[in-house]
Chains A and B, each alone.
Chain A
């Protein structure tokens, strides 16, 4: 009455397999759609793509590469956190140790190269989206999300810049954080700060302005190292992760990847 099942069929008919994979093999259009829609990771993607919309010459795959690089940065970053201590006493030596005392001494370089690569791929992705007019309605909201993601990518680079705690890092952040000093009304060197004065008392000074908030002090010291470490490893990646999910979801909801007309 019944033919003996092959091994693959036997596995596919177990309760374990069926509890994980709800649908049959994606061999027809219905199952393919069900597989994508029923998977938490894949469902952020469009169920159907135009064949012309995924041409490499059209998309450059730069959005996908940006995401791939982001994932590899998350993995290498977590590995680096096993050895790196964000204190003035240890930070620089731990960076050296990551190269000298640890197998696979290029882990830190992988993270650094990945950071450079992500800035490049994100810029190229933005360039591609602009040149193909993919920012136009109905995708204008997702363009806005993308611009925020670009800024966050640059902020990840900026905050990571301080962590090696060498001369380059400290002075680069000293120079960079002086931009915060020039914020109108909120920075003590910016326009409007002079106006916020009561008699001889200056309300916006280097002890309470937005630069002080960023650095946790009047200059780039140990509090700044700790703050940048938290921003770099926890705060900004979390925000980026959420916005990436929104970004992918809106690609799907706004009509899929834009295709040549």
Chain B
């Protein structure tokens, strides 16, 4: 009876088919869910770029310059012979402090954190100084700020040569 076609599966074959079927179903479902998850991350967004060219060092007066604050969230500060790019995100809970020229300090309106012109916190709930961004001179001698590279004072990173420009 070797040539008779067998119509039924035995138990082992049945579970083999079942395992393959369910594995394929699980893989398809998982793949679809992964795609849906990825769908929530846009490939393009219309926010300001993470880096920008900010003119020549000689364009800046001594003190805090606010010209890039609204566009890029950065203060260019010229203080004690160096130029650095200070983040305008409060290190307490992420609001945006104001520069108060009269009192020579950054003051956050949300919970009252205060920072010196250097970005070091000294009053209010802020736990650490404002962050600085990478700031270098490009081949034309212009300032180039890269916000993807962050320098934190509490980690001793403000000594890094890319975190300031000597003027």
Contacts and interface: CB of A to CB of B under 8 A. Distances in A.
Interface of A: 171, 174-175, 178, 181, 202, 205, 207-208, 212-213, 216-219, 221, 223
Contacts of B112: none
B8 interface: no
Contact of B110 (A171, A202, A213, A219): A171
A202 B42 CA distance: 19
A111 B113 CA distance: 34
Nearest to B73: A219
A178 B47 contact: no
Contact of A175 (B40, B41, B93): B93
A205 B148 contact: yes
4 smallest A-B Cβ distances: which pairs?
A: A175-B93, A178-B94, A174-B94, A213-B40
Interface string B32-72: 00000000111001010010000000000000000000000
16 contacts: A171-B110, A174-B93, A174-B95, A175-B93, A175-B94, A175-B95, A175-B110, A178-B93, A178-B94, A202-B148, A207-B50, A213-B40, A216-B45, A217-B47, A219-B47, A223-B42
Interface in B71-107: 93-95
A171 B95 contact: yes
A213 B41 contact: yes
Interface string B142-166: 0000001000000000000000000
A217 B45 CA distance: 7
Contacts of A202: 148
A167 to B, nearest CB: 9
B124 to A, nearest CB: 14
A207 B148 CA distance: 10
A183 B136 CA distance: 32
